[in-house]
Amino acid sequence: MMFLIPTPTLTVGKKERKKCIDLIFFVLITHRLKGKVAIITGGTTGLFARHGANVIIVDVHDKKGRALCNDIASGIGYSDSSSLSYAHCNVTDDTSANNVVDLVVSKYGKLDIMFNNVGISGDLDKTVLGTTNENFKEVFDVNVYGAFLGAKHAVRVMIPRKSRVILFTTSLASVVCGETSHAYTMSKHAIMGLMKNLCVKMGQYGIRVNAISACAVSTPILTHSLGINKATLDEVITESAVLKGVTPDAMDVAHTALYLASDEAKLVHGLNLMVDGGYTVTNPTFSLAFKRSTGGHHNGCCSRLCSKKMNRTVIESGLPSLKS
């Protein structure tokens, strides 16, 4: 797609210049992936396509995948079906992953972005004794082995071109433990190991590798798994967040992926970008335990008393107090 943009000059009026500048800005910010070719596993919001990329969505659920493509195309006004398409792929099968990459290269001549976005939570049982072998293997097959195969076959066609992007969707479970099942938490830590290793190995070929760790988002899958409605889950997520006044949604992850996939992030490599409103920055368990132990009466007096006790403890331990 080619754009003919009038150049703002000093010979035209102020209003005309503003219109020209606005048009240039609009084209630049709405085509950040112009001419790029992207494979996205497990679905997408359509943001990559809206920014000019040729997008291939891959999954094993063919009916849902094609319906998603149609919804995205109608939502962004796409009339060119070659720019947005669906392909069947079982990410846990080496031949299937190989074939879908070959299909994309034969159609477009290249692959610029491999976004390993598919993942499953598996059983929600957090206990080690409640973890079944079948569930553990299924979670690792999809989340870890599937991500590995996606990266492996993408790298195969990216290395000769010397400049491409591989992205992984992880979660807060990649850095925070105890909130999810053993299988899920371990799978997200494994993806981080894969991302970091690829970062070191692929840098010499100009291939950038990054990950996105997002907080909980009230998607239909999560609300169904937890057995609560969207409003209730949004309330819980907002209450547990450090950053107040905003509710996370799928577009937060999509915009982050767009940035990492674009040339604006040309020096961003080996990063696990947290999209969590500061959730992983703090550990509120002491405050919560203190509040419970005092019956919720944590006023100024309690704070001063707590401070005195802490200073006495610090002094007795031989460390400098907060007053020194």
Catalytic residue among 36, 96, 145, 171: 171
DSSP 244-298: -S----HHHHHHHHHHHHSGGGTT--S-EEEESTTGGG--THHHHHHHHHTTT--
Rounded CA gap, 287 and 291, in Å? 6
Decide if 247 contacts 237 (C-beta within 8 A).
Answer: yes
The conformation of residue 79, written as its DSSP 8-state character, comes to: -
DSSP for 199-213 reads HHHHGGGTEEEEEEE
- Annotated active-site residue 36? The verdict is no
Q: Following DSSP, what letter does each residue of 34-66 receive, concatenated? A: TT-EEEEET---SHHHHTT-EEEEEES-HHHHH
Known catalytic membership, residue 96? no
- DSSP 8-state symbol, 320: P
Chain-centre distance for alpha carbon 112: 18
Q: Which of 86, 145, 184, 279 is catalytic?
A: 184
* Given the residues 145, 187, 188, 262, the one annotated as active site: 188
184 an active-site residue?
A: yes
Active site residues: 171, 184, 188
